[in-house]
Amino acid sequence: MQFSLRLYTLVFVVLALSHVFASPLAHADEVDLRVTAPFINVHSGPASEFPIFHVLSEGEVFTVKKERTGWYKVETKKGIEGWIRAQDLAQTQLVDGTEIQVNNGSFEDYLERTWEISAQGGVIDKTTAISVSGTWVWTKNLAVEATFSQALGNFADNKVWSVRMRQTFFPDWRVSPYLALGTGEIRTKPRSNLVQSGDEVRKSSHYEVGIGAQYYFASQVVVRAEYRGLLALTDRDEQERLDQWMLGVSVFF
Protein backbone atom coordinates (compact mmCIF):
# COMPACT_ATOMS: atom_id res chain seq x y z
CA MET A 1 0.00 0.00 0.00
CA GLN A 2 2.81 2.39 0.92
CA PHE A 3 4.65 1.55 -2.30
CA SER A 4 1.56 2.16 -4.45
CA LEU A 5 0.87 5.49 -2.75
CA ARG A 6 4.44 6.66 -3.36
CA LEU A 7 4.37 5.56 -6.99
CA TYR A 8 1.00 7.22 -7.69
CA THR A 9 2.28 10.42 -6.06
CA LEU A 10 5.41 10.45 -8.21
CA VAL A 11 3.44 9.83 -11.41
CA PHE A 12 0.96 12.57 -10.49
CA VAL A 13 3.79 15.06 -9.87
CA VAL A 14 5.47 14.19 -13.18
CA LEU A 15 2.22 14.55 -15.14
CA ALA A 16 1.48 17.84 -13.37
CA LEU A 17 4.88 19.11 -14.48
CA SER A 18 3.96 18.23 -18.06
CA HIS A 19 1.03 20.64 -17.85
CA VAL A 20 3.20 23.42 -16.41
CA PHE A 21 5.95 23.11 -19.00
CA ALA A 22 3.52 22.67 -21.89
CA SER A 23 1.95 26.06 -21.12
CA PRO A 24 4.20 28.86 -22.38
CA LEU A 25 2.19 31.51 -20.49
CA ALA A 26 1.47 29.38 -17.41
CA HIS A 27 3.03 31.83 -14.96
CA ALA A 28 1.56 35.00 -16.44
CA ASP A 29 -1.66 36.68 -15.27
CA GLU A 30 -2.68 38.62 -18.39
CA VAL A 31 -0.47 39.25 -21.42
CA ASP A 32 -0.99 41.43 -24.49
CA LEU A 33 -0.02 39.82 -27.80
CA ARG A 34 -0.02 40.92 -31.44
CA VAL A 35 -1.15 38.67 -34.31
CA THR A 36 1.58 37.99 -36.90
CA ALA A 37 -0.40 35.57 -39.12
CA PRO A 38 -3.08 36.65 -41.63
CA PHE A 39 -5.74 35.60 -39.10
CA ILE A 40 -6.47 33.48 -35.99
CA ASN A 41 -9.85 31.84 -35.45
CA VAL A 42 -11.61 32.51 -32.15
CA HIS A 43 -13.94 29.81 -30.78
CA SER A 44 -16.81 30.32 -28.36
CA GLY A 45 -15.38 27.68 -25.98
CA PRO A 46 -12.15 25.78 -25.19
CA ALA A 47 -12.55 22.96 -27.73
CA SER A 48 -12.64 22.60 -31.51
CA GLU A 49 -16.30 21.53 -31.28
CA PHE A 50 -17.26 25.07 -30.26
CA PRO A 51 -18.07 27.26 -33.29
CA ILE A 52 -15.79 29.96 -34.69
CA PHE A 53 -17.54 33.28 -34.11
CA HIS A 54 -14.72 35.80 -34.52
CA VAL A 55 -11.39 36.25 -36.30
CA LEU A 56 -8.27 38.07 -35.06
CA SER A 57 -6.63 39.93 -37.92
CA GLU A 58 -2.92 40.40 -38.63
CA GLY A 59 -1.49 43.20 -36.51
CA GLU A 60 -4.38 43.14 -34.03
CA VAL A 61 -3.50 43.31 -30.33
CA PHE A 62 -5.44 41.14 -27.88
CA THR A 63 -5.16 40.02 -24.25
CA VAL A 64 -4.57 36.44 -23.04
CA LYS A 65 -6.58 36.00 -19.83
CA LYS A 66 -6.27 32.32 -18.81
CA GLU A 67 -5.37 28.83 -20.05
CA ARG A 68 -7.30 25.55 -20.04
CA THR A 69 -5.79 22.32 -21.39
CA GLY A 70 -4.36 23.51 -24.68
CA TRP A 71 -6.68 26.51 -25.11
CA TYR A 72 -6.37 30.16 -24.14
CA LYS A 73 -9.16 32.58 -23.28
CA VAL A 74 -8.59 35.91 -25.03
CA GLU A 75 -10.20 39.34 -25.11
CA THR A 76 -9.97 41.85 -27.95
CA LYS A 77 -9.59 45.57 -27.43
CA LYS A 78 -13.30 45.85 -28.32
CA GLY A 79 -14.22 43.57 -25.42
CA ILE A 80 -14.94 40.41 -27.46
CA GLU A 81 -14.01 37.27 -25.47
CA GLY A 82 -13.35 33.80 -26.86
CA TRP A 83 -10.85 30.94 -27.02
CA ILE A 84 -7.88 30.18 -29.29
CA ARG A 85 -5.75 27.04 -29.57
CA ALA A 86 -2.39 26.92 -27.80
CA GLN A 87 -0.62 26.28 -31.11
CA ASP A 88 -2.00 29.56 -32.42
CA LEU A 89 0.32 31.37 -30.01
CA ALA A 90 3.11 30.50 -32.45
CA GLN A 91 1.46 33.02 -34.78
CA THR A 92 1.76 35.87 -32.28
CA GLN A 93 4.40 37.94 -30.52
CA LEU A 94 4.58 40.24 -27.53
CA VAL A 95 3.74 43.86 -28.25
CA ASP A 96 7.45 44.74 -27.93
CA GLY A 97 8.25 42.32 -30.78
CA THR A 98 9.53 39.41 -28.66
CA GLU A 99 8.71 36.02 -30.17
CA ILE A 100 6.56 33.55 -28.20
CA GLN A 101 8.23 30.19 -27.63
CA VAL A 102 5.49 27.56 -27.78
CA ASN A 103 5.91 23.96 -26.60
CA ASN A 104 2.70 22.04 -27.24
CA GLY A 105 4.21 18.68 -26.37
CA SER A 106 3.91 17.52 -29.99
CA PHE A 107 6.12 14.82 -31.49
CA GLU A 108 8.15 17.59 -33.15
CA ASP A 109 8.68 19.17 -29.71
CA TYR A 110 9.68 15.75 -28.40
CA LEU A 111 12.43 15.54 -31.03
CA GLU A 112 13.75 18.95 -29.94
CA ARG A 113 13.47 18.38 -26.17
CA THR A 114 16.26 19.35 -23.76
CA TRP A 115 15.12 17.87 -20.42
CA GLU A 116 13.16 14.86 -19.20
CA ILE A 117 11.73 13.99 -15.78
CA SER A 118 10.67 10.38 -15.15
CA ALA A 119 8.83 8.32 -12.53
CA GLN A 120 8.85 4.51 -12.69
CA GLY A 121 7.76 1.48 -10.72
CA GLY A 122 8.97 -2.10 -10.83
CA VAL A 123 11.18 -4.59 -9.04
CA ILE A 124 14.81 -4.95 -7.98
CA ASP A 125 15.57 -8.64 -7.45
CA LYS A 126 11.88 -9.45 -6.84
CA THR A 127 11.48 -6.56 -4.40
CA THR A 128 9.08 -3.75 -5.30
CA ALA A 129 10.87 -0.51 -6.20
CA ILE A 130 10.24 3.04 -7.32
CA SER A 131 12.58 5.24 -9.33
CA VAL A 132 12.85 8.89 -10.32
CA SER A 133 15.28 10.43 -12.78
CA GLY A 134 16.25 13.65 -14.45
CA THR A 135 17.78 13.65 -17.92
CA TRP A 136 19.67 16.23 -19.96
CA VAL A 137 19.28 15.45 -23.67
CA TRP A 138 22.69 16.42 -25.00
CA THR A 139 22.11 15.46 -28.63
CA LYS A 140 19.41 13.46 -30.44
CA ASN A 141 21.35 10.28 -29.70
CA LEU A 142 23.10 11.01 -26.38
CA ALA A 143 21.70 11.95 -22.98
CA VAL A 144 23.09 12.23 -19.44
CA GLU A 145 20.83 10.91 -16.69
CA ALA A 146 20.80 10.96 -12.88
CA THR A 147 18.54 8.39 -11.19
CA PHE A 148 17.46 7.42 -7.69
CA SER A 149 15.76 4.10 -6.93
CA GLN A 150 14.43 2.67 -3.68
CA ALA A 151 13.48 -0.95 -3.01
CA LEU A 152 11.40 -1.62 0.11
CA GLY A 153 12.12 -5.23 1.12
CA ASN A 154 10.98 -7.25 4.13
CA PHE A 155 14.47 -7.41 5.56
CA ALA A 156 16.26 -4.32 4.22
CA ASP A 157 15.79 -1.06 2.37
CA ASN A 158 17.99 -0.51 -0.68
CA LYS A 159 18.68 2.92 -2.17
CA VAL A 160 20.47 3.20 -5.50
CA TRP A 161 22.01 6.40 -6.93
CA SER A 162 23.28 6.34 -10.51
CA VAL A 163 24.76 8.63 -13.16
CA ARG A 164 24.42 7.24 -16.68
CA MET A 165 25.08 7.95 -20.32
CA ARG A 166 22.18 6.94 -22.59
CA GLN A 167 22.51 6.14 -26.30
CA THR A 168 19.30 6.25 -28.36
CA PHE A 169 19.56 4.30 -31.60
CA PHE A 170 16.62 5.66 -33.63
CA PRO A 171 15.78 9.07 -32.10
CA ASP A 172 13.33 10.01 -34.86
CA TRP A 173 11.10 6.99 -34.20
CA ARG A 174 8.05 7.18 -31.93
CA VAL A 175 9.34 3.99 -30.30
CA SER A 176 13.07 4.47 -29.70
CA PRO A 177 15.25 1.73 -28.17
CA TYR A 178 18.26 2.78 -26.14
CA LEU A 179 21.30 1.49 -24.25
CA ALA A 180 22.63 3.02 -21.02
CA LEU A 181 25.90 2.66 -19.12
CA GLY A 182 26.49 4.10 -15.67
CA THR A 183 27.92 3.92 -12.19
CA GLY A 184 26.86 4.91 -8.71
CA GLU A 185 26.30 3.72 -5.16
CA ILE A 186 23.99 1.26 -3.39
CA ARG A 187 23.08 1.76 0.26
CA THR A 188 21.54 -1.16 2.10
CA LYS A 189 19.96 -0.63 5.51
CA PRO A 190 18.54 -3.62 7.44
CA ARG A 191 15.14 -3.25 9.05
CA SER A 192 15.51 -1.79 12.56
CA ASN A 193 14.19 -4.91 14.26
CA LEU A 194 16.90 -6.98 12.57
CA VAL A 195 19.87 -4.81 13.52
CA GLN A 196 21.68 -6.05 16.61
CA SER A 197 24.91 -4.05 16.57
CA GLY A 198 27.69 -2.78 14.35
CA ASP A 199 27.41 -0.95 11.07
CA GLU A 200 23.72 -0.50 10.17
CA VAL A 201 24.22 0.81 6.61
CA ARG A 202 26.28 -0.99 3.97
CA LYS A 203 27.56 1.09 1.05
CA SER A 204 28.67 -0.46 -2.23
CA SER A 205 29.82 1.06 -5.49
CA HIS A 206 28.20 -0.38 -8.58
CA TYR A 207 28.33 -0.44 -12.37
CA GLU A 208 25.25 -0.90 -14.49
CA VAL A 209 24.05 -1.50 -18.01
CA GLY A 210 20.51 -0.77 -19.09
CA ILE A 211 18.46 -1.51 -22.18
CA GLY A 212 15.01 -0.12 -22.79
CA ALA A 213 12.66 1.82 -25.03
CA GLN A 214 10.75 5.08 -25.00
CA TYR A 215 7.37 5.50 -26.68
CA TYR A 216 5.94 8.96 -27.47
CA PHE A 217 2.44 8.44 -26.13
CA ALA A 218 0.66 11.80 -26.17
CA SER A 219 1.15 15.50 -25.58
CA GLN A 220 4.22 15.91 -23.35
CA VAL A 221 4.03 12.29 -22.12
CA VAL A 222 6.41 9.42 -22.93
CA VAL A 223 6.02 5.80 -21.75
CA ARG A 224 9.29 4.19 -20.76
CA ALA A 225 10.28 0.54 -20.06
CA GLU A 226 13.74 -0.65 -19.08
CA TYR A 227 15.86 -3.50 -17.75
CA ARG A 228 18.99 -2.70 -15.74
CA GLY A 229 21.71 -5.08 -14.70
CA LEU A 230 23.65 -3.83 -11.68
CA LEU A 231 27.00 -5.23 -10.52
CA ALA A 232 27.70 -4.25 -6.91
CA LEU A 233 31.27 -4.26 -5.58
CA THR A 234 30.88 -5.28 -1.92
CA ASP A 235 33.26 -4.91 1.03
CA ARG A 236 33.68 -8.67 1.07
CA ASP A 237 35.59 -8.49 -2.24
CA GLU A 238 32.66 -10.18 -3.92
CA GLN A 239 30.52 -9.07 -6.81
CA GLU A 240 26.77 -9.13 -6.36
CA ARG A 241 24.42 -8.92 -9.34
CA LEU A 242 21.03 -7.21 -9.14
CA ASP A 243 18.31 -7.24 -11.79
CA GLN A 244 16.00 -4.23 -12.07
CA TRP A 245 12.84 -4.04 -14.22
CA MET A 246 11.02 -0.72 -14.47
CA LEU A 247 7.98 0.76 -16.25
CA GLY A 248 6.81 4.35 -16.01
CA VAL A 249 6.25 7.73 -17.65
CA SER A 250 8.41 10.71 -18.56
CA VAL A 251 7.61 14.30 -19.39
CA PHE A 252 9.83 16.52 -21.52
CA PHE A 253 10.44 20.19 -22.03
18, 80 in Cβ contact below 8 A? no
Average pLDDT of 118-138?
91
| Residue 241 scores a pLDDT above 80 | yes
| Residue 197 scores a pLDDT above 50 | no
**Which position has the higher pLDDT, 44 or 234?**
44
Average pLDDT of 172-188?
94
| Residue 92 scores a pLDDT above 80 | yes
Separate counts of helices (H) and strands (E) for the chain: 2, 15
For residue 14, what are the CA distances in angstroms to 59, 184, 204, 223? 38, 24, 30, 12
| Residue 16 scores a pLDDT above 80 | no
Task: Report the chain's mean pLDDT, rounded to a whole number.
Answer: 84
pLDDT digits 0-9 by tens, 29-83: 688 999 999 999 999 999 889 999 999 999 999 999 887 777 889 999 999 999 9
Domains of the chain: 2-18+110-252 (2.40.160.20), 25-102 (2.30.30.40)
pLDDT digits 0-9 by tens, 161-175: 999 999 999 999 999
Average pLDDT of 179-195?
81
User: Could you tell me the pLDDT band of residue 7, with boundaries at 50, 70 and 90?
Assistant: very low
| Residue 214 scores a pLDDT above 90 | yes
For residue 169, what are the CA distances in angstroms to 74, 154, 213? 43, 39, 10
| Residue 239 scores a pLDDT above 90 | no
Average pLDDT of 134-161?
89
pLDDT digits 0-9 by tens, 93-115: 988 888 776 666 678 778 888 99
Sequential DSSP letters for 60-110: -EEEEEEEETTEEEEEETTS-EEEEEGGGGGGEEETTSPBP------HHHH
| Residue 2 scores a pLDDT above 80 | no
Task: Report the pLDDT value the prediction gives residue 218, as an integer from 0 to 100.
Answer: 80
| 96 vs 100: CA distance, rounded Å | 11
